[in-house]
A and B are shown apart, each in its own frame.
Chain A
Amino acid sequence: MSAGAGFGGLLHPVAQALRGLAKYLQGVMGADAYRKYLEHHAAAGHGTPPMDERAFWRDRTDRQDTNPQGRCC
């Protein structure tokens, strides 16, 4: 990524901070779930290929159908 690179060194820390914030928010929202699944899959060394992105998200929400998670008041 080269966001902010064209603005010289001054904006670089700002761009970096923003990118860090975006990454943090993605984590909180659970947007990085597929990446984490792939990491786990590769590390665990299963013989089968991992699910593709579409199948993964489908599986994720479908499992929530039978395993609901509470949200508080």
Chain B
Amino acid sequence: MGTMPEDGTRTAAEDLNPDVDGSLPPASVDDAVRDAEERRWTPAKIAIWVAIALLGGVAWFMLAVVRGETVNAIWFVFASVCTYLIGYRFYSKVIERYLLKPDDRRATPAEYKADGKDYVRTDRNVLFGHHFAAIAGAGPLVGPVIAAQMGYLPGTIWIIIGVVLAGAVQDYLVMFFSMRRGGRSLGQMAREELGVIGGTAALVATLLIMVIIVAILALVVVNALGESPWGVFSVGMTIPIALFMGVYLRYLRPGKVMEVSIIGFVLLMAAIIGGGAVAGTEWGAAFFHLDKVTIAWGLIVYGFIAAILPVWLLLAPRDYLSTFMKIGVIAMLAVAIIVVRPEITVPAFSEFAGRENGPVFSGALFPFLFVTIACGALSGFHALISSGTTPKLIEKERQTRFIGYGGMLMESFVAIMALVAAISIDRGIYFAMNAPAALTGGTVETAAQWVNGLGLAGVNITPDVLAQTASNVGEESIVSRSGGAPTLAVGLAHIMQQFIGGTGMMAFWYHFAIMFEALFILTAVDAGTRVARFMLQDSIGNFAPRFKEASWRPGAWLCTAIMVGAWGAVLLMGVTDPLGGINTLFPLFGIANQLLAAIALAVCMAIAAKRGSFRYLWIVAVPLAFTAVVTITASIHKIFSSVPAVGYFANNAAFSKALADGKTSFGTAKTTAAMEAVVRNTMIQGWLSVVFVVLSIIVIITAVAATVKAFRNTTAGIPNLNNEDRPHPSRVYAPAGLIPTPAERELMAEWNKVPANMRAERAGHH
């Protein structure tokens, strides 16, 4: 690899001579000056933080204690933002000061490996946006909606507290450690730090987890588009739009990214508006009215083709479109919530908070709420983005706190806004939309009857309301549109129409929301399939070297087919599952995502231990222990629970017995074939859960072993192996956070006086 250190025994600061070139100002603010600045509490500074703490306290009080008949959405904004600010200013500083100890005198990979292509120093604010766009997608928009079944409070607490103590910590640590290793991936770091067994288990687990995550994201899209001609048309149009943009950028006007993104955006809006017109015609309604199985097969075929097409043709242009939409949508949602400030009537804890047979997702609050909301609180998938791409672009070491920790706080805020949007709609509509058709019966009459029969406080819904809502958003029906995306879309349409356009615009906003969720998910599906394909090729390459050649077509196609086949199979299981795919499979998504987080945190713990930071190891150990307990408990429930709705094998046994008894319909399965499908699916899902949890436990055990060994070495005075790249002195300077401090400004002014030809990256000669 060429990046291994020559000598494992040195420490970071020893062979780093900051004064390589006396003509340049220092590359870092003096430690003593920064310290004094941070510890100086002026009255104004104290007043600001007291105000933030008070406002946050009042907001939490309103949400958690007062819990009036209704609660205003603005309190969610204040509670979250104030907590984030305090977490960022105080807790992330503790991590920086005592655990990571970044050193601005050290050059980042973007400086010492600068190549103008992959390793490019990037302005911290730009990189913040870039990194945020890479980590945030449909996940934080979907999980909180599904978790709203239990009331607003459990989800709100987990999203806000979870991100401060776990999610943002993981992203920050992974990014920092990867940066110190020249931008190595999580898999490579696991191999180096945990050895062959731990590293291999981490690799296989990552691969399987990606399959599950892609499959369930795809399931969300299928559920949103099933029987929706408008949605199918407008989302389908993104393919020709992206192809056009790709050709435009390659042949017509290379490099005009903004221009083509604006053209693409306009075409996208036209596709949404046109979708309404097309779905209104008889042929359009007939042609684009597809059932879920057909859409699932379409998505599988699309996934395979998209993953073998060259990046410039489909993936890159759609990524531009997706980024463009992401920034716009999130800004729009934030403004709308702050301006409209909807009143929330959902209770803090719903009737389902104390039960494990909720219609939206099955399982008790602990542990299943904590896996249902993964993205937004703690998402292991981020470890794959925070290692690799972003660390190669960071300008200064101290900026990792802003980009890594801060970026994740931003995603958490998106999750809070999604939660607010989902709970701003009537609870009766919420349950009618999110329960599987097996329960609601699929028609407005049966759905209203079922919802009213649940005995929920203050819920009394009529079939007319359900029919009216469906017609407002331009859909044939909204009953049993599970998966989270349609509910969020109704919530968003509900809020946005108060802001712009009134009821007449609801259909547009609904399909706008479906469009951007589908866009984010399709991009994640594409990119996920490609990344997984390369991981598979690399693994097979250890036995058959030909597979390591990325350009060898048969190998690439075979591995793509294997990966698409794997997620496609899980997707079809979900779509045909008579119990409702989301209800049983969504927890598996969260479990997979958080097992990956456990793996990432385990690797970070081993690294931190090898650096000798034992006093502050709890910063990593606490979230690791929590996520390990949550995911392992959830897995055990899924494997051993005797409740068929929760346990895969219990369900399997129930259906097997019914088949053996000669029944032709059982529970929600109306035919023998459907019953056999349940038996098959539950067996596969059950064994997948077993494999995941075993692999993750292996990784955690090897990480604990590495930590203990590091501790013994340290007490015995034996230096631990250091896998960081050799330090290079930095010859550039930039401030660490959003707003430069006075000392940082002073140093910037000094650097601005340096003639341009001396500031440039002469470190490039190596």
A interface vs B, CB < 8 Å?
22, 24-31, 33-34, 36-45, 53-54, 56-66, 68-73
Contact = CB atoms under 8 A, between A and B. Distances in A.
Interface string B309-330: 0111001100110111001000
Q: Which 5 residue pairs of A and B lie closest in terms of their CB atoms, listed nearest first? A: A40-B116, A27-B126, A31-B257, A73-B139, A43-B760
Contacts of B258: 22, 25-26, 29, 31
B207 to A, nearest CB: 13
Given A71-B524, A73-B379, A64 B117 contact: no
Contacts of B123: 27
Contacts of B550: 65-66
A53 B255 contact: yes
B129 A27 contact: yes
A31 B122 CA distance: 13
B312 A73 contact: no
Given A40-B761, A61-B311, A61-B312, A72 B379 contact: yes
Given A29-B323, A63-B117, A71-B523, A43 B761 contact: yes
B534 interface: yes
Contact of B527 (A37, A56, A71): A71
B170 interface: no
Contacts of A29: 257-258, 261, 320, 323-324
Interface stretch (B225-233, B338-346, B380-388, B694-702): B380-388
Given A28-B129, A36-B116, A72 B382 contact: yes
B384 A62 contact: no
Given A22-B258, A40-B114, A40-B120, A57 B250 contact: yes
Interface residues of B, number: 66
Interface string B121-140: 01101100110011111110
B355 interface: no
A48 B682 CA distance: 61
Contact of A71 (B137, B534, B551): B137
Contacts of B388: 69-70
A73 B125 contact: no
Nearest to A54: B254
B312 A26 contact: no
A37 B257 contact: no
A61 B381 CA distance: 23
B116 A41 contact: yes
Given A41-B116, A71-B319, 20 more contacts: A28-B126, A30-B130, A31-B256, A31-B257, A33-B120, A34-B255, A40-B761, A44-B114, A44-B762, A57-B249, A61-B250, A61-B310, A63-B117, A65-B311, A71-B137, A71-B322, A71-B524, A71-B527, A72-B134, A72-B382
15 contacts: A25-B258, A28-B133, A33-B120, A40-B120, A44-B762, A44-B765, A54-B255, A61-B250, A68-B531, A70-B385, A70-B388, A70-B528, A71-B385, A72-B134, A73-B217
Contacts of A39: 116
A7 B320 CA distance: 33
A30 B310 CA distance: 19
A contact face: mostly helix, strand, loop, or mixed: helix
B530 interface: yes
A45 B382 CA distance: 37
Given A37-B116, A71-B319, A62 B122 contact: no
A24 B708 CA distance: 46
A17 B765 CA distance: 38
B140 to A, nearest CB: 8
A43 B381 CA distance: 36
Contacts of A37: 116-117, 120
Contact of A73 (B137, B310, B765): B137
B383 to A, nearest CB: 10
Contacts of B455: none
B529 to A, nearest CB: 9
A61 B384 CA distance: 20
Interface in B103-162: 114-118, 120, 122-123, 125-126, 129-130, 133-139
A68 B254 CA distance: 21
B316 to A, nearest CB: 5
Given A56-B255, A61-B311, A73-B375, A24 B250 contact: no
A29 to B, nearest CB: 5
A47 to B, nearest CB: 12
A28 to B, nearest CB: 4
Contact of B130 (A28, A53, A64): A28
Contacts of B707: none
A54 to B, nearest CB: 4
B385 A72 contact: yes
B116 A73 contact: no
A28 B760 CA distance: 22
Contact of A25 (B327, B375, B531, B593): B327
Nearest to A41: B116
B213 to A, nearest CB: 6
A25 B129 CA distance: 8
Nearest to B313: A61
Contact of A40 (B319, B375, B764): B764
Contacts of B720: none
Contacts of A44: 114, 116, 761-762, 764-765
A49 B533 CA distance: 36
B399 interface: no
A21 B136 CA distance: 21
A44 B763 CA distance: 8
Contacts of A73: 137-139, 213, 217, 375, 379, 381, 521, 524, 593
